[in-house]
């Protein structure tokens, strides 16, 4: 982001820059502010919320610059508005990882220690401890969320609802035309499309946001507010990284598309007073369902290297997902290794993906037969493709990343940084800038989650303060 914002290397090493990104000085002609918004949290109306620990510094070259963790705001309620090094590193690394994966996201510009000791209860279990305070400066075209529209609708403040919607269209969707009822519908369609595109990308790489409340949904379809996120280790449609969501699993991996739609319904309700017609909004929402089914199928075809559409593809995909859930197998490693599958040698399929299994000793009997049958079916399906092995392999590798930000990787970097050594943060950052490349110097990161991380706090158990 340094280049996009016009900061030189000298700029970011200056005292003035440090003052800006730690909240100790204002950028010239700027008026810092915190946003007021509302939201539905875990399916329930939470009322007024707002930027409790985020402060918008202003805009630079049409990019909004925001500090997270710089202190209390009018919307901090009873909290301190601060952030800790642990959560700041996680946000810094993940937002950049998502960007380089090709997934719409907020970006990170810098991370700074504050020198404060901040009290946090990581698992909300009555065991608070002091941690190092830190601030992330993050960047986006806008930080507007669904909740910004919900707050005015809930207050029946139609004047400000219209003002906000018109502002958003003029500044972020200008091609839609001058605001009017027809354009408001086009605006909602655009937000719906962008939200769907973002979630399809999440599903493609196995990313789980963990807390898809409406106040965490970007109006631009950006991944925003990195808290208890995680990437699938073993493929599991029911997995959520959020301890708060452990019982009901509302925000589990397999349910993210449904939650995206649910959240869009709440945005539709908020925009309804500007349109005064339910049918066209409902039509857009219904379109989300059919679009998701089609785009999800296209995404899975790409992951499998299928570039011609066959009616039987959905059966092949379903049987694969069934197999993936029966025995624990690493999603990222499986699909990356699968790119080297040769249709002429289906009997070598199991051998090819052996390193992706967490419990290869359980690959026996009916489970083994189901996998052999799937590879036979996959090989026959590949016979219908008209591209070479080399081209298919390359195209699959641009869809299936080799490296993702596994929680244990972030935790190792956090543990070192907490001792004053940021070398691992830098290494992981460099690795994640080229997630689809082989990067032999980082081959040691192309590995399953180590067993010590299976139940370790920060690696498997995460809270909304993560």
Q: Which of 317, 335, 322, 325 is nearest to 404 (CA)?
A: 335
For β-strands 83-84 and 129-140, DSSP reports them as antiparallel
For residue 155, give both structure tokens: 């207050």
CB atoms within 10 A of CB 291: 16
The residues with which 135 forms a beta bridge, in sequence order, are 112
**Strand (E) or helix (H) holding 154:** helix 146-154
Q: Long-range contacts for 27-36 (Cβ within 8 Å, ≥24 apart)?
A: 27/57, 27/58, 27/60, 27/65, 29/58, 30/57, 30/58, 31/58, 32/56, 32/57, 32/58, 34/73, 34/74, 34/75, 35/75, 35/143, 35/144, 35/148, 36/74, 36/75, 36/148, 36/151
CB 135 within 8 A of CB 83: yes
C-alpha–C-alpha distance, residues 66 and 70, integer Å = 10
The catalytic residue among 215, 225, 236, 245 is 215
Q: Which two tokens stand for residue 226?
A: 């990195």
215 belongs to the catalytic site: yes
DSSP result, 160-174: HHHHHHHHHHHHH-G
DSSP type of residue 78: T
H or E element that contains 332:
helix 331-338
- Do residues 129 and 249 touch, judged by C-beta distance below 8 A? no
Identify which of 331, 317, 352, 358 has the alpha carbon closest to the alpha carbon of residue 454: 358
Residues that are catalytic: 215
């Amino acid at each position: 982001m340094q280049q996009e914002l016009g900061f030189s290397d000298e700029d970011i090493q200056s005292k003035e820059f440090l003052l800006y990104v730690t909240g100790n000085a204002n950028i010239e002609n700027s008026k810092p502010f915190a946003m007021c918004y509302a939201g539905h949290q875990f399916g329930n109306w939470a009322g007024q919320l707002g930027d409790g620990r985020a402060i918008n510094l202003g805009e630079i070259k049409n990019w909004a610059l925001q500090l997270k963790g710089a202190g209390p705001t009018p919307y901090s309620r009873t909290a301190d508005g601060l952030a800790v090094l642990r959560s700041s590193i996680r946000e810094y690394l993940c937002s950049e990882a998502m960007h380089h994966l090709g997934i719409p996201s907020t970006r990170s510009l810098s991370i700074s220690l504050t020198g404060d000791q901040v009290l946090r209860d990581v698992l909300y279990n009555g065991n608070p401890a002091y941690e190092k305070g830190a601030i992330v400066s993050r960047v986006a075209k806008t930080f507007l969320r669904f909740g910004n529209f919900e707050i005015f609708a809930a207050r029946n403040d139609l004047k400000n609802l219209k003002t906000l919607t018109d502002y958003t269209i003029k500044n972020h969707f200008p091609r839609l035309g001058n605001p009017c009822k027809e354009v408001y519908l086009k605006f909602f369609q655009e937000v719906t499309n962008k939200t769907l595109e973002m979630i399809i990308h999440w599903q493609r790489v196995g990313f789980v946001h963990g807390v898809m409340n409406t106040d965490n949904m970007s109006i631009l379809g950006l991944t925003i507010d990195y808290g208890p996120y995680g990437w699938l280790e073993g493929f599991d449609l029911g997995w959520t990284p959020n301890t708060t969501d452990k019982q009901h699993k509302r925000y589990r991996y397999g349910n993210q598309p449904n939650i995206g739609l649910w959240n869009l319904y709440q945005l539709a309700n908020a925009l309804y007073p500007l349109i005064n017609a339910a049918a066209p909004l409902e039509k857009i929402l219904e379109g989300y369902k059919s679009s998701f089914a089609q785009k999800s199928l296209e995404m899975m075809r790409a992951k499998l290297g299928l570039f011609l559409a066959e009616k039987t593809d959905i059966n092949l995909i379903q049987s694969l997902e069934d197999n993936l859930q029966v025995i624990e197998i690493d999603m990222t490693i499986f699909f990356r290794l699968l790119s080297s599958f040769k249709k002429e040698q289906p009997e070598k399929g199991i051998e090819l993906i052996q390193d992706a299994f967490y419990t290869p000793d359980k690959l026996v009997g009916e489970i083994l037969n189901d996998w052999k049958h799937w590879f036979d079916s996959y090989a026959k399906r590949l016979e219908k493709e008209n591209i070479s092995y080399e081209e298919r392999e390359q195209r699959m590798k641009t869809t299936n990343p080799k490296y993702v930000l596994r929680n244990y990787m972030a935790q190792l970097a956090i543990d070192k940084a907490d001792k004053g050594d940021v070398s691992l943060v830098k290494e992981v950052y460099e690795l994640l800038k080229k997630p689809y490349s082989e990067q032999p110097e980082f081959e040691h990161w192309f590995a399953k989650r180590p067993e010590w991380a299976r139940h370790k706090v920060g690696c498997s158990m995460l809270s909304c303060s993560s």
